[in-house]
Amino acid sequence: MTNYATTRFLPGISIGAKAGYNLYPNLKNSRSYFVGATLSPFKSYRYYWQAEFVNSIHSYDGTNSVQESFRTSANGVRQLQRRTTSSQNDNINWEIPVLMRYNINSFIGIGMGLQANFNLSEKQEQNLKIETYEGITDKFLISTTNESKIAKQSFTNVKTGFVFDLTFGAARIGPSFGARYVVNFKENSNYFQLYGIWKF
């Protein structure tokens, strides 16, 4: 006769590497690439929590505006003057999503949760082009001047929203590909995310 022994198994932690591309349909010339890490239970099965940290680089063009007015030259001739304003934005973002995920089978997983998005660094270059024409039409251009200025900010523009996620591949351990849709609460800056992930 021996004593009875009680055995308990503690779940391990799975760390994943993630990289991909963010697609912003409402932004002009948007380019956004990211890398990140995930944290979830080891060989997670069915329902489980997953937390992520993602660092992304995002650049896009701001809205352009064109204003036309008339000026009078030194010799009394009316001239058309066109002012074109444009901007280029370069941001470094931190994204922290927390999702409840569910593996439908060994190859397909779904998830939803909440996300916070911080602009770690924000740079905007504003450009102004002034074109002056000989008369009241834009037929003959006589001069062009360009002005630019750069504005920088840090830790601005915090956004929160819902996350909806779908993955195909090794749902528990190994490589898989995913698609995600992020719905922001305040601003009209919803976006899609396409990525590859490898869970260890």
Query: What pLDDT digit, counting tens, does each position of 106-121 carry?
Result: 899 999 999 999 989 9
What mean pLDDT comes out for the span 165-177?
92
Q: Which residues of 14-30 are buried (b: 16+ CB within 10 A; e: fewer)?
A: bebebebebebeebeeb
User: For residues 41, 45, 50 and 56, what is the CA-based torsion angle, rounded to 10 degrees?
Assistant: 110
User: What would the pLDDT profile of 20-49 be if each residue is shown by its tens digit?
Assistant: 999 999 899 999 999 999 999 988 888 999
At which residue do the structure tokens 């593996």 appear?
A: 103
Which range, of 6-15, 104-113, 158-167, averages the lowest pLDDT?
A: 6-15
Cα angle for residues 41, 33, 196 (degrees, 5° grid): 40
Query: How far, CA to CA in Å, does 137 sit from each of 1, 129, 170?
Result: 106, 17, 64
